[in-house]
Each structure stands twice: as structure tokens, then as C-alpha cells.
Chains A and B, each alone.
Chain A
């Protein structure tokens, strides 16, 4: 699995989490910056999914493929779901939702790396 992509995903997710927390603390609803940020995160997550699928197709990867793809699928779902709820909730709590989404992506990518290395 491509560790560079995973590092980018985790870093971006943590930066977006921080930005969302700041927005929530300042009592701001989700704005354009966060919207674009999470769109970028979704692209990064999809690229990562592509790398994982390619590597698995090439015969690499752990024994536990179900868990691996479970994490991949979950990660692809979370940014759009977070943005959907963030757009529905036009208050600081919309930003709080995005903080949760960013944190979830960071943790899940870390877990994805562990699963890849077989430490399920």
C-alpha cells in the first residue's frame, strides 16, 4: 500500500478537522473553504482506494481482504455524508460534524495501514 498517499490523506484529514474545530469554536457554519477541503479529501481517499485496489489486484495485501475493503468503502462514504449534514445544519454544529468526519478519516486511514500490514 502506498504510504505516501496514506500520509497525505491523514494529514489533510487532520488539517480539515482542525479547521472545522476552529470554525465551530468561532460559531461559524461550514463555509466554502471547508467545502473545497473536503472535496479534496474525497479525491485523496478515492486515489488511495485506487492504489489499494491496484495493489490487491497485483497480488499484494493482507489475508483479511473483507476488512480492508470495509475501511476503503467507509472512507469513501464519510466526506460526502459529512458535507451533506454540514450543509443541512447551518450553524456551528455543522462545522462540528465536519470535525468528526475529518477525525474519522484520519483514524480509519491509520487502521487501514495496520490492516494492510496484517495487524488486524
Chain B
């Protein structure tokens, strides 16, 4: 025996701390920033719409709020390294932007006011459409 037994042995099981290469660091931190920004943008927009004129376009405003919620969940999931939650939220986000984007073009009357996902996020440089794809790619890459 070489040691006194109190020192932890460096074994094959020792892995680098997860926090060092989690999904919320490196490029992932940039994603956190963008998702945080969209959570702020979509959340404020939904807040203003629902507080001041909900009756005008209940469907569009409810979807605005839903989009904001998805962005908040994603920001938190990335920061906390919750992979499964992030995957699920990214799936919902991608489905949402495609469905709402299409619906807003097919039936513009149902969307008299903009949401983040209207026309695939045209009002936001189509970033809402690109973001879930980037996010899914990032999660697949960072294992």
C-alpha cells in the first residue's frame, strides 16, 4: 500500500466534470443568449398583447404566449443541462414554427396580428425557423 487510503484514487471511472462540457457552455452559451433574447422578445410581446387587446386576436396572442413559454423552457434547459427537456422543447419549437408559419399563410384572417412564428418568423429575420435546427444539431453534436 502506497497511500494512507484517504486520497481518492484516479481510476478509469473518473470522468471530467459534466459542467465543463455541458450543453450550456461554449457554443451552447451563445444559444442560451439567443434563446434568452427570444424569451424576452416573445414574452414581452405576448404580455403586451394579452394585457392590452386580448379580445382582438385571442388565437394569435395565446400562441405568442405559448412560443414565449417554449423559449423560456429552452433557455432554462440549456443552462441547467437538461438534455431530454431541451430535445423535447426543440421538437415543439420546430413543429410550432412550421405549423403556425403555415397556418398564418393559409388562413391570415385567424392571425390579424403578428406572432413570433407568423410566416415562419419573417418579422424576426426567420431566426425562429433556423434556431430549432441549430439547436437540434448542437444537442446531437454535444454528447
Residues of A within 8 A of B (CB): 64, 66-67, 70, 74, 77-78, 81-82, 85, 88-89, 91, 93-94, 96-97, 100-101, 104
Contact = CB atoms under 8 A, between A and B. Distances in A.
Nearest to B26: A93
B44 A100 contact: no
Which applies to chain B's interface (DSSP): helix, strand, loop or mixed?
A: helix
Interface residues of B, number: 17
B26 A77 contact: no
B29 A85 contact: yes
Given A66-B48, A66-B52, A97 B40 contact: no
Contacts, number: 41
Contact of A97 (B33, B44, B47, B52): B33
Contacts of B27: 93, 96
Interface string B73-94: 0000000000000000000000
Contacts of A74: 40-41, 44
Counting from the closest, the 8 A-B pairs by CB-CB distance are: A89-B29, A97-B33, A96-B30, A70-B44, A93-B30, A66-B48, A97-B30, A93-B27
